[in-house]
Structure 1
Amino acid sequence: MHPSYQKLLSYVSEIKHLNHSSAAAVVVMQNDQIILEHYEGVHGNEHSNLIGIDSMFNIASARKSYLALAIGYALYEKKIHSLDDCVSKYLKNYDQQIFQGTTIRHLMTHSHGLDERDDGSIYREFAAGESWAYRGINIRIITELFKYLYDYDFTQLLKERVFMPLGFKSTEWSTEESEALVKVIDYPEQKATFQLYPYDDGMGSNLHTTAREFALWGNLHLNMGRHEGIQVVPEDVIRLCTSIQSLQYDDGRLPANGLFWYVQEKAKERSEIGECVPKGSYQILGNTGPLLLVVPENHLVVVRMYNKRYNYGGKNYLHYLREFSNRASDAFTIPSCSKMHRL
């Protein structure tokens, strides 16, 4: 094994240990081929199966990239006129005063300014488009929007139009425990469970996939919707999802987003992408540790999987996310950035 590959895997193992994850996996594709694959650990914090190619991880918020593709279809098929349509044009069941000026673009780029209290009431943190904050309420609204537009769940569209043509066998919204599912650890001393959310939350939660199929999901985007020479997803849908759709912020520290994906424009302090990763790259993350990095400049897809809720580093977790993508950049012959470009 190339020394730089081993160095990256050692780093993945180190963070796995520090964060009390029981499992880790790495799959790297370049030029449509797997060039590195690594599995270690077990499915939970009690006696359980060894991690392997069939192990299905709960990817938590990384499922946003799947919802993003569904909304990309809605735009492509003119179900939505524009990203700049106000949400109130489609959904009437929310307080119109609070939602005033909130567009689909704001919801898809985390610039909507909405949040939710423990009692379920919605309030506004800042005016739509004026800042950026990662909150969960936009996922529920966008999920509702898709169902309003198509009269069925976005998961059905993905299964029929994407998963089946790709031949996916191990990507599913799981509702029952099985030996293939990697359990999520909240606390090392507590029993782990395969689910993060209630079955009926309506947001396509508890999406499980293997490291290989997660990498193929990234590779589909890298190839602009093509898989083994066949155009599975329209190129325009992929372009919508993975190009910058966020507005310019007064605060230069805030990240750029496509449709939920973080997109590398230039190094941003509050972005999860490392400053050494080339422009045009994009990444998605879940709080159980899955990370999918796509680097078009080097025709590269990098997947890292864990099974511990909350990413290592506490309030400084972004540092470790950037550190991983920077190390991946160094390992797979992406030119390193100079000190002048570092944060």
Structure 2
Amino acid sequence: MNKLLLKDDDSNLFEDVYTHVKESAGKLGSSGTALFIIHHDKIVTESYFGKQSNAKHARDVKADTQFHIASVRKSYIGYAAAYAIHNGYFSIDDPIRRFVEDSNSPAYEGVTIRHLLTHTHGLLIADGKLVSEYKPGESWAYRGPSIELLTTIIKKTTGKSVADIVKEQVFDPVDFQSTEWLKMSQPHSKIANTIRDKDNIFWTETDVVDGSGMNMYVSAKDLALWGYLHLTEGKWGGKQIIPREIIQMATSIQTPDPSLPIHKNGFLWFVKDKNHTFNQIGDIVPKGSYQLLGYTNVALLIIPEENVVAVRMFNRYGSTEGYDYLKDIRSFGDTVYKCSIKEVERNNGR
């Protein structure tokens, strides 16, 4: 644990966030939940409630409970891509045809690394074939092919998998204890069971642990500390353990044409720019904040302007009928921001 991270005895200012997360857990039907907030180098909220599953004698959710983080894992892929670019393995605007085996496919025409990282590539699997949905850079769509391509290109150029890179560069130096790509055939007692509808078509199981699969499990504390490393731009315990340029690259807007009314992305991170009806980040959350949201409703939000990192964890894959996930996640961010402002006001009044 970073020596700069101290427990704040007066954490009730973030009570509204706790209430918000607990209410969301009820709406979702999550059996267990965790909330972890860091503000001005202090842990202001660390809460665990519920059970790791709906089983009769299920383990309580604890500090070491690991949740399926779904698409939030893309923050680690984005880091690996930034690491590769920073170290000269490829450039952000390199055409991906340089790195793929089926380079003659017309779908790859004009697609660059930047397009893959910002969901502006236009690639789509239709009837089992890779096709182009729109001209690269001219629109935005959240499609799967980009992640497989990115992880493959990273491994081909660096000789290391995404998992290898983050373990070597971050996990080992910081000593993360509860972060892993889990072999789904070998779960352990600290894993929260992922509650899901039996007919959910998005659920996959894999034993691949190279960082390319949707099988990453992380504790609330480890995920918050991962976010804190981004907030400090790579500093840990007063030392620059990650080059600042890597973090800045990954968390600043990299969308080819930022003037388009589409989601703005860094390296897979959603970055706040202007308010739109489709935004996942709250309306009052300041520009420059960034976030990732997973299909398990796990969220990692970083608000640099207020020096805050907020993590919420649920074990519900998908959502219940009538649950408005966009309204809920925006409200979560706005509540975190309002509470961080309250703490500033309290400190200024001392």
Structures share a fold, TM > 0.5?
yes
CA contact (8 A) 1:15 1:312 kept: no
Q: Percent identity among equivalent residues?
A: 34
Aligned to 1:136: 144
Residue in structure 2 matching 1:290, options 295, 298, 308: 298
Aligned to 2:217: 208
* In 2, Cα distance between equivalents of 1:250 and 1:265: 10
Aligned to 2:5: none
CA contact (8 A) 1:155 1:204 kept: no
| 1:55 equivalent in alignment to 2:65 | yes
Residue in structure 2 matching 1:90, options 88, 92, 99: 99
Task: Identify the range of structure 1 (311-320 vs 243-252) with the bigger mean alpha-carbon deviation.
Answer: 311-320
Residue in structure 1 matching 2:78, options 50, 56, 68: 68
1:289-309 CA distance string (max 9 Å, x none): 110111111111000110101
Task: Identify the range of structure 1 (242-251 vs 137-146) with the bigger mean alpha-carbon deviation.
Answer: 242-251
Amino acid at match of 2:235: R
1:127-178 CA distance string (max 9 Å, x none): 1111001111110010110111122311011111110001111111111210
Residue in structure 1 matching 2:314, options 290, 301, 306: 306
| 1:101 equivalent in alignment to 2:110 | yes
CA contact (8 A) 1:130 1:249 kept: no
Aligned to 1:199: 207
Amino acid at match of 1:281: S
RMSD: 2.2
* In 2, Cα distance between equivalents of 1:111 and 1:13: 35
* In 2, Cα distance between equivalents of 1:12 and 1:204: 27
1:96-142 CA distance string (max 9 Å, x none): 3111000111110001111113x532112111111001111110010
Match of 1:63, SS?
A: helix
Structure 1 residue runs of 5 or longer lacking an equivalent are 336-343
Residue in structure 2 matching 1:222, options 210, 218, 231: 231
Quote how far apart the aligned CAs of 1:316 are.
Answer: 4.1
* In 2, Cα distance between equivalents of 1:315 and 1:242: 29
Quote how far apart the aligned CAs of 1:269 are.
Answer: 2.3
* In 1, Cα distance between equivalents of 2:205 and 2:102: 24
Amino acid at match of 1:256: K
Task: Identify the range of structure 1 (133-142 vs 92-101) with the bigger mean alpha-carbon deviation.
Answer: 92-101
* In 1, Cα distance between equivalents of 2:272 and 2:218: 25
Aligned to 2:154: 146
Aligned to 2:24: 15
Match of 1:116, SS?
A: strand
| 1:78 equivalent in alignment to 2:88 | yes
Aligned to 2:177: 169
| CA separation of 1:312 and 1:247: change in aligned 2, threshold 3 A | farther
Amino acid at match of 2:191: L
Match runs of 1:313-324 below 5 Å: 316-324=324-332
Aligned to 1:278: 286
Quote how far apart the aligned CAs of 1:74 are.
Answer: 0.6
* In 2, Cα distance between equivalents of 1:286 and 1:120: 25
1:22-72 CA distance string (max 9 Å, x none): 111110001222111111111112231010101011111100000100000
* In 1, Cα distance between equivalents of 2:12 and 2:221: 23
Match of 2:77, SS?
A: helix
CA contact (8 A) 1:184 1:196 kept: no
* In 2, Cα distance between equivalents of 1:248 and 1:312: 36
Amino acid at match of 2:240: Q
| CA separation of 1:312 and 1:38: change in aligned 2, threshold 3 A | farther
Amino acid at match of 1:242: T
* In 2, Cα distance between equivalents of 1:230 and 1:116: 44
Amino acid at match of 1:20: G
Amino acid at match of 1:109: T
CA contact (8 A) 1:61 1:286 kept: yes
Structure 2 residue runs of 5 or longer lacking an equivalent are 1-9, 344-350
